[in-house]
Amino acid sequence: MGCRATLAVILATATVLATTAVPAGGASPHRDPRARPHRQALAGSAGSAGLRVVKAPPVGGKGGGVDPGDDYPPRWKDPPQDSALDPWREFNRECTSFVAWALHARNGFDMPFHKNANHWGRAARRLGYLVNAKPGLGSVAWSNTGVWGHVAYVVAINGGNVTVEEYNYLKHGAYDKRVVSADSFTGFIHFKDLPVESTPIRAPVSVESPADETVSETSGGVVNTWSDYLSGEGVPGPSMPSNYSVQVGCAVTGFRVADGNTWWYRIASSPWNDAYYASADAFYNNGKISGSLIGTPFVDPAVPAC
């Protein structure tokens, strides 16, 4: 066989191999891990993208609290990632969609733009929102690194660290929660922060309440008590059984619990001895001693302020 014939055979073989290695659509049968990640926000119209906008579920009641865990709605969580758009024109199961939902459900704020995460800081500044290096409870932790950047929702602050909730950080379109240095983000966007900006832990301090200034309150279920009303944590105190009457020394505003209440009682009765606090909405607060807590007040106005 001559050189020309040999070359022809080689070229024909290479053509066959190339044809069988690449499917008809021209895409590799296995996703290249180095491939460019999917956009986080819609570019153009939803119609041109061939996707439907899935409305947000109604948010009512007393709120979901700052840290309810993965409360991302199933209507966006269950479909394949990037197969639908939320009302803020963010692709489902992307970090931007989860943060937009958290702001809507927890802060009562709706995103004024739809952009990939790396543009959030600049866009927010342009609209007059504060963007700085100081985290706030319910603020957006924002990073402009990577192809599209990343955003997360701040649920706790402890010194130089923040606890954030997020989606797609691990590239699987899923929820996770982590503690990380605040310096690891480009900055923090303060669209509509929640009132408590930090969660310091304090040691229990016994402050005696005069017996004639206490008010009797009855628990509506098992009640956990804590030394620190600002964080709703600290040193755990004795639990209180259901339908149990105690003397309350005073009321103070602190950590916002799951239903939105911020009132806490300092428990004067033994064994709490004015060293521990309990969320005021765990009590009937209207003289009742049994039945459902639904519809009862958050706090008894007869309890004096601390």
pLDDT digits (tens, 9 = 90+) for 93-120: 999 999 999 999 888 899 998 889 999 9
Which residue has better confidence, 10 or 238?
238
pLDDT value of residue 66: 67
20 found inside a domain: no
Residue 63 pLDDT exceeds 80: no
Answer with the one of 130, 163, 190 that is the final residue of a domain.
Answer: 190
Write the CB contacts of 198 (distance below 8 Å, at least 6 apart in sequence): 137, 157, 158, 230
14 found inside a domain: no
Neighbour order of strands in the sheet with 245-253: 215-218, 245-253, 263-267, 277-279, 226-228, 233-236
pLDDT digits (tens, 9 = 90+) for 10-41: 344 444 333 333 333 233 333 334 456 778 77
pLDDT digits (tens, 9 = 90+) for 39-56: 877 776 556 666 777 787
Residues 225 and 150 in one domain: no
| Range(s) of the domain holding residue 206 | 200-306
146 found inside a domain: yes
* Res. 69 pLDDT band, cuts 50 70 90: confident
What CATH number does the domain containing 176 carry? 3.90.1720.10
Per-chain mean pLDDT for the chain: 79
Answer with the one of 170, 190, 210 that is the final residue of a domain.
Answer: 190
Residues 238 and 258 in one domain: yes
Number of domains in the chain: 2
